[in-house]
Chains A and B, each alone.
Chain A
Amino acid sequence: MPESTRNSASTTSQIRFGGVGGQGIVLAGRLLGKAAALFDGKEAVCTQTYGPEARGGASRADVIISDSPVDYPFVTDADILAVLFQEAYTRFRSRLKPGGTLIVDTGLVQPSADDENVCGLPATKIAEDLGSRLATNVVILGYLVGKTGVVSRESVEAAIRATVKKQIVDLDLKALDAGMSLAQSNGSS
């Protein structure tokens, strides 16, 4: 494991993605982690859990990004929680730190009425309008990056180019921009 010491400093971000298998939850986590670890010069770990089903089971990805090597690889208190499924919202909402960023796909998640400061976007719908709902994960990722700046846009783009199939790159970059510009246009929430 990488040498030395700490990830308790304030420069650590804990991000959790929650949804169902087939939504690209794990890929969103890996793209974010790769952007941080390979292109932003940070330390990053991505872990995922899933049920035995290939599609349709609960899926989650945790990403820890830090200026120093990451020891414990799972989210304990999320700085950012992005959920694309009602059950994921119900299960993981309590993991979000007070003041943390909550991002939901409004077409799939209905936050409870007393939940303040929810960042909602119709990510699946946006992806469909761009050509394929397969890009939903990258719309969410773009929004997350635009909202929080946890990694740079350039790094995410580099991560996408280094990861996804050639024929998907254009769609994913459009999805990234769509998510980012939406985050910047309603940046006050």
Chain B
Amino acid sequence: MGTNAVAAKPQADQESRIRTGNHFMLGDHACAEGALAADLDFFAGYPITPSTEIAEHLARRLPALGGRFVQMEDELGSMAAIIGASAAGARSLTATSGPGFSLMMENIGLAAMMEIPCVVADVQRASPSTGLPTMVGQSDILQARWGSHGDYGIIAYCPASPQECFDLTVRAFNAADQYRVPVFIMMDEVIGHMTERVIIPAANDLPMSHRKGPRTAPGGEPFFSFAPDEDLVPPIAHAGEGYKVHMTGLTHDERGYPALDPETHDKLINRLVDKIRLNASDIVMYDEIGVDDADTIVISFGCTARSARHAVNQARDERMKCGLLRLITVWPFPETRIRELIKRGNVKRFIVPEVNLGQLRREVERLTDLPVLRLNHAGGTMPVPDAILELIRS
């Protein structure tokens, strides 16, 4: 990477980096284009179906734009490499599917502990283990939240179209930088392998945020890279910028030095969780249809949300009081919104369709005593709208 990946990037090619215009684009490619539009510097990965097209596309595009593409020996290495690149200031991405996501878990914990911004796209396929490599699943959703050992906070987006693969990848890089946290793009095989219209905006219309840097010059007053601001997020200094920075997965004090005592540990880990939890209202995104008068609310995400939308619209045409809450961020879970909807008193029941055996349903059940109906498939196929409609009618 040299000393500073950002400085090494050529400036002249903004136009080819951002392919402004209308495209008929594969979801996986839209994710890759979103990463490029978000100023991706570095990709390290190990190809795996159904995410391979992300790596393929970036192998073609990224080096031509002055970025680095590395095909790694495995997913442990991939995750380690993007942490290292990000610690040197590079916007970094890897892409994988369930089996690789499992292998990344240890280093995802390291990124959370060292507060290194990074983005991981997980194009979910039917799991566990190698499962059904070419077929859809949504069963890595809890793994995204809890997969590495210990307590920590993360952010996970769930695109339901190629357009959202683009938009949410841009957003993922911004969120990773803003909160110094690993961010996941929880795609699924249907969305990753779906081709649909994608509108890429002009560079000026893309939301772009940057990492908070030190407010003192290098060599001056000591810089503490784990001393949080009021938003609980510490400014970050990168390797090569001249600051003295220590990084470790051990429990550390505000300077980054190991501090192996329970008080420091409790304070640090609470902050890692709280910097996401207490900023949730700024992070959470969802989409709604007709929830205001609904007695039945379908909660859905990813590919399944497309069938859910169809079913809910049809039910409303048939004058049923039915609504849709589509989760765009799955983590943090929009529990404040769900509690609000319950409090209004109209809701009699929820329906949670998903391509797993009830991972998100458990989250909803945690918030309510109302019935939470299930519609599950272990993977390989997504529910048809009629199956959801039938449940709404029941």
With A2-B161, A52-B133 known as contacts, the answer to whether A33 contacts B307 (CB < 8 A) is no
**Chain A: number of interface residues, binned into ranges:** 20 to 34
Q: Which of A37, A70, A72 has the most CB of B within 10 A?
A: A72
Min CB distance B286 to A, Å, is: 13
User: Is B376 positioned at the interface, with any CB of A under 8 Å from its CB?
Assistant: no
User: Is A111 positioned at the interface, with any CB of B under 8 Å from its CB?
Assistant: no
Docked CA distance A10–B194 (Å): 23
Docked CA distance A48–B136 (Å): 12
Within 8 A of A (CB), among B142-184: 160-161, 163-164
User: Is A34 positioned at the interface, with any CB of B under 8 Å from its CB?
Assistant: yes
Q: Which residue of B lies closest to A3 (CB)?
A: B287
User: Is A44 positioned at the interface, with any CB of B under 8 Å from its CB?
Assistant: yes
Min CB distance B227 to A, Å, is: 41
Interface mask (A39-71 → B, CB under 8 Å = 1, otherwise 0): 000011111111110000000000000000011
Binding site for B on A (CB under 8 A): 1-2, 5-8, 29-30, 33-34, 37-38, 43-52, 70-73, 76, 159
A71 touching B385, Cβ below 8 Å: yes
Min CB distance A30 to B, Å, is: 6
Min CB distance A12 to B, Å, is: 11
Docked CA distance A2–B133 (Å): 28
B310 touching A7, Cβ below 8 Å: yes
Q: Which residue of A lies closest to B195 (CB)?
A: A46
Interface mask (B37-78 → A, CB under 8 Å = 1, otherwise 0): 000000000000100000000000000000000000000000
With A6-B313, A30-B24 known as contacts, the answer to whether A1 contacts B163 (CB < 8 A) is yes
A34 touching B160, Cβ below 8 Å: no
Q: Which of A33, A37, A49, A70 has the most CB of B within 10 A?
A: A37
A47 touching B197, Cβ below 8 Å: no
User: Is B4 positioned at the interface, with any CB of A under 8 Å from its CB?
Assistant: no
Min CB distance A119 to B, Å, is: 26
For B163, give its contact among A2, A49, A51, A72 (CB under 8 Å).
Answer: A2
A51 touching B22, Cβ below 8 Å: no
B193 touching A47, Cβ below 8 Å: yes
Within 8 A of A (CB), among B11-56: 22-24, 49
With A33-B24, A37-B24, A73-B190 known as contacts, the answer to whether A43 contacts B195 (CB < 8 A) is no
Q: Which residue of A lies closest to B198 (CB)?
A: A37
7 extra interface residue pairs, beta carbon distance < 8 Å, beyond A8-B314, A46-B196, A71-B307: A6-B310, A7-B310, A29-B195, A33-B24, A52-B49, A71-B310, A72-B307
For B193, give its contact among A5, A33, A34, A48 (CB under 8 Å).
Answer: A48
Min CB distance B200 to A, Å, is: 13
Within 8 A of A (CB), among B311-363: 313-314
Within 8 A of A (CB), among B91-132: none
User: Is B306 positioned at the interface, with any CB of A under 8 Å from its CB?
Assistant: yes
Interface mask (B187-215 → A, CB under 8 Å = 1, otherwise 0): 00010011111000000000000000000
Min CB distance B124 to A, Å, is: 16
A45 touching B22, Cβ below 8 Å: no
User: Is B238 positioned at the interface, with any CB of A under 8 Å from its CB?
Assistant: no
User: Is B264 positioned at the interface, with any CB of A under 8 Å from its CB?
Assistant: no
